[in-house]
Amino acid sequence: MYKVFVNEKKLLVSKHPENLEKELKYESFTTLEIALDLLENTSAQELNIFGENIEEIWKEFQGLFRIIEAAGGLVNNPQGDILFIKRLGKWDLPKGKMEKGESREESAVREIEEETGLRDVELIRFINTTYHIYIERNGEKILKCTHWFEMSFSGEDTSKPQIEEGITEVAWKNTSQIENEVFPSTFKNIKLIVREFWDSQPK
């Protein structure tokens, strides 16, 4: 199953119907174009494309876009807080585009250190990949795939925002602050990956 966000609206690609607001059985390439049109130009908030050969559908879907790969992380401290950045008035997790020749892991660590000013973050494990679509000023459609990793940090807190990247704040947030401050002012795929991370933790 693949979850993609189109202007904060949810597009789900799955094998079976998922009982969302709108459902389209995959018939051909045209199904994908209709789905995107519905999400971009109507009030529909969520849509499910379903079909048996999900990998084939996903490959065709990717073919509609230029793909940009990025990597980032959920950085924990010993108190169990998560590190967030604020950019353009929204809370976000540190992440950025992968550079040529970099592995996902190398890219995630580099971006976190650049955007937050921390040093010696320790990479623990891969969490998941999130997808969102946006349109460049030249009209080109981009599918951004962000690979997320769990990381830990226990050194001296040298965090400071990377101002030249438009980041205005770097802050550690506990669970209550995330629910009450971050979630009302962030993106749906950030909520998705944080909740997935929480669900994976030992109870």
Report percent pLDDT > 90 for the chain. Answer: 95
In sequence order, which residues have a C-beta less than 8 Å from that of residue 123 and are 6 or more positions away?
A: 73, 105, 108, 109, 149, 150, 151
The mean pLDDT value for 99-127 works out to: 96
Q: Which residue has the tokens 């995330």?
A: 178
* Amino acid at position 173, single letter: K
The rounded radius of gyration (Å) of the Cα atoms in the chain is: 18
Of 20, 22, 31, nearest in space to 53 by CA: 31
Question: Residue 189 corresponds to which tokens in the numbers above?
Answer: 């795929």
80's torsion region: left (phi>0), alpha (psi -120 to 50) or beta?
Answer: left
* Amino acid at position 28, single letter: S
Report percent pLDDT > 70 for the chain. Answer: 100
Please check the confidence at residue 202 and state whether its pLDDT lies above 90.
Answer: no
Predicted confidence (pLDDT) per residue in 35-75, tens digit? 999 999 999 999 999 999 999 999 999 999 999 999 999 99
Domain ranges, ordered by start, for the chain: 2-64, 70-200
Q: Say whether 158 sits in a helix, a strand or coil.
A: coil
Superfamily of domain 70-200: Nucleoside Triphosphate Pyrophosphohydrolase (3.90.79.10)
Please check the confidence at residue 203 and state whether its pLDDT lies above 80.
Answer: no
Which pLDDT band, with edges at 50, 70 and 90, does 117 fall under?
very high
Of 55, 65, 52, nearest in space to 26 by CA: 52
- pLDDT at residue 55, rounded to an integer: 96
Query: In terms of C-beta density within 10 A (0-12 exposed, 13-18 middle, 19 or more buried), how is residue 81 classed?
Result: middle
With contact defined as beta carbons under 8 Å apart, do 14 and 23 qualify? Answer: no
0.85 surpassed by pTM: yes
pLDDT mean across residues, the chain? 95
